[in-house]
Structure 1
Amino acid sequence: MTFAERPVSAPLFEDLPGDISVSFEFFPPKTEKMEEQLWDAITQLAPLDPSFVSVTYGAGGSTRERTHSTVSRLVRETSLVPAAHLTCVGASKDEIAEIADQYWEAGVRHIVALRGDPPPAQGGVFTPHPEGYSGAADLVAGLKARHDFDISVAAYPEIHPEAASADADLDNLKRKLDAGANRAITQFFFSTDAYFRFLDKALAAGIATPILPGIMPVTSFAAIRRMSGNTEIPGWLEKMFEGLDERPGPRALVAAVAAADLCRRLYQGGVRDFHFYTLNRAEQAYAICQLLGLRPKAEA
């Protein structure tokens, strides 16, 4: 009997074999205390043997130095594979080439290439740098021409908020992959149907590149609302977190189980690679992996 054929009465996470691959996203710390929290999270999650760990890049390159510092430390002090986020907002092609060269020289071989969010001064509207890249597909091509990076890009199961249509959004993803990207990572979502419909449409469009689901445990329901964009927040999820705004402990427990159940349903659909947005906290991501049957493979 396969896991998907188990009776409804069986425990949700019974006998999940842990035959999955995981990756984790972190953001560069602003303070010494935040840096301690980040490295505590990295230390706790490292034994799960992630395929890579990514480090984000602020709007308009606002965290450029901190991102580089975090990624460089990962190279020096861990055996993890770091993936540096890189955007084309507010930077010329020469500036991006310099950053790419610095990463390559530091031993970084994986880049998460994104168009990036425009800074507030631009009114939320992306305007290419006069001497820069026009978007993520152009950026991917430029990075590939510079060095043979392993490149990840973003995908949107429920459509990017700025896309003219679902077809236009899918065409943009295909351009990024055709330019040389090795995989896509989705924006977080809460509907397995939305994800699998998106995969079907991608396959129909000739996209065979892996599309990893991005999993975001709910650390704050208000924050999830702000970040959701076009992502549907189902009524059952909202009801699940009702009354937990001022109860961080119970909220974290509920969030871990809700995200693990989402992963379980994705697993039943054949997914074996998961990308977790950790927000620099290890507990929920670790708990989800535990429920999915993944166990530590090495000491941190």
Structure 2
Amino acid sequence: MSFDNVRGYSTPGRVSRTPQVSGTRSVVQQLGPRPDGSIPFSVEFNPPRDAAGEARLWRAAREFERLHPAFVSMTYGAGGSTRDRTIRVTGQLARETTLLTVAHLTAVDHSVAELRSIVGAYADSGIRNLLVLRGDPPGDVLGDWVKHPEGVEYAEDLVRMVRDLGDFHVGVASFPQGHPRSDNLDDDTRYLVAKLRAGAEYSITQMFFDPEHYLRLRDRAIACDPVEGAKPIIPELMPITSLRTVERAVELCGRPLPARVMERLHRAAGDGPEENRAAVREVGIEIATEIAERLIAEGAPCLHFITLNFAKATGEVLANLGYTMSPAPAHA
């Protein structure tokens, strides 16, 4: 692969140059109102583990093309073939669909040289939008963080590294209830603002199920820094489709779900030996719709949905909110 168009990468005898990306839209540029006046939405995909998972991802991507998301993001599978598949599939999404593709980049288990190589691979695929994260320890999202001996310590450092490599558009993570490793919300807000000051243009939150947590985060960020803190904070939502999904959500967040949400879901699940999946799913769609409606009313710049590489549940929430599909786009 060629890294000629990324600062710091050039073949012998050539002069490295800063890439020209005037034709590449940024996430922030995508956040204006849609033609029908609705706010933008975006979706998150996960790296497929095998050929069947890859086929499912492509079906979902084609469905979402008809709903015109502002962007799609691909989470990052660190290490080995998972990493390689992630980079390949993310590049294909950028090249072979109409979707503005955002690649996740984490510092987990990577040296600076490896991180620069990954950024170069994304650049070769035409990807100039990166969501930069320190990342969670493999196998235990709440485990101790151990820096790679030749890597970076903080997401703030990774933001600076990516910006130094060229003209990339960078987003970061934010945490409505605070990161589990933060001592308090004020410290957590300062860490977010530090990432924004380092060059991040926006943040996407960790999933949450109480809109007040998002609104208070937004208030804290602006109070901490009226300029940097005013950059867009995009709320992340996940339509719950089963109690197993709830358990996974709690694991990923490191925070319990609100009691009123759990009560509604358990009531729908029933008292039988098997949960009533259809009823849980229906309530999960209702909860996601209610949260989205509140966020829209409060001026959120975009709604970002965790999809688990399925289009149906997110599509139902969007339909409840009045979003409609267009004819499938033509592809070469």
Aligned equivalent of 1:209: 231
Deviation per CA, 1:186-228: give whole Å up to 9, x if none: 0011111111111111111111110000001113222223223
Aligned equivalent of 1:70: 89
| Superposed counterparts of 1:108-127, under 5 Å | 108-120=127-139, 124-127=143-146
Q: Which structure has more RCO (C-alpha within 8 Å, separation ≥ 6)?
A: 1
Measured in 1, the distance between the counterparts of 2:141 and 2:234 equals 31
Report the secondary structure of 1:38's partner residue.
helix
Tell whether 2:284 aligns with 1:265.
Answer: no
Q: Offset of 1:18 from its aligned partner?
A: 5.8
| Superposed counterparts of 1:5-20, under 5 Å | 19-20=38-39
Q: Percent identity?
A: 37
Report the secondary structure of 2:171's partner residue.
strand
| Superposed counterparts of 1:7-86, under 5 Å | 19-58=38-77, 63-86=82-105
Q: Offset of 1:62 from its aligned partner?
A: 7.2
Structure 2: which 5+ runs fail to align?
Answer: 1-35
Q: Is the 8 A contact 1:87 1:114 kept in 2?
A: yes
Structure 1: which 5+ runs fail to align?
Answer: 1-16
4+ residue segments displaced more than 6 Å: none
Structure 1 residues 147 and 255, CA, compared in 2 at 3 Å: closer, same or farther? same
| Superposed counterparts of 1:1-300, under 5 Å | 19-58=38-77, 63-120=82-139, 124-206=143-225, 207-219=229-241, 220-230=245-255, 232-242=256-266, 243-244=268-269, 246-297=275-326, 299-300=328-329
Deviation per CA, 1:143-192: give whole Å up to 9, x if none: 00002111111000100000122111111111111111111000011111
Q: Is the 8 A contact 2:233 2:301 kept in 1?
A: no
For these two proteins, the number of residue pairs brought into alignment is 283
Q: Is the 8 A contact 1:47 1:299 kept in 2?
A: yes
Q: Is the 8 A contact 1:60 1:119 kept in 2?
A: no
TM-score by length of 2: 0.80
Measured in 2, the distance between the counterparts of 1:61 and 1:177 equals 31
Measured in 2, the distance between the counterparts of 1:70 and 1:122 equals 24
Structure 1 residues 224 and 35, CA, compared in 2 at 3 Å: closer, same or farther? same
Report the secondary structure of 2:207's partner residue.
coil
Most deviating of 271-280 and 122-131: 122-131
Measured in 2, the distance between the counterparts of 1:234 and 1:122 equals 20
Most deviating of 106-115 and 266-275: 266-275
TM-score by length of 1: 0.89
RMSD (Å), alpha carbons: 2.0
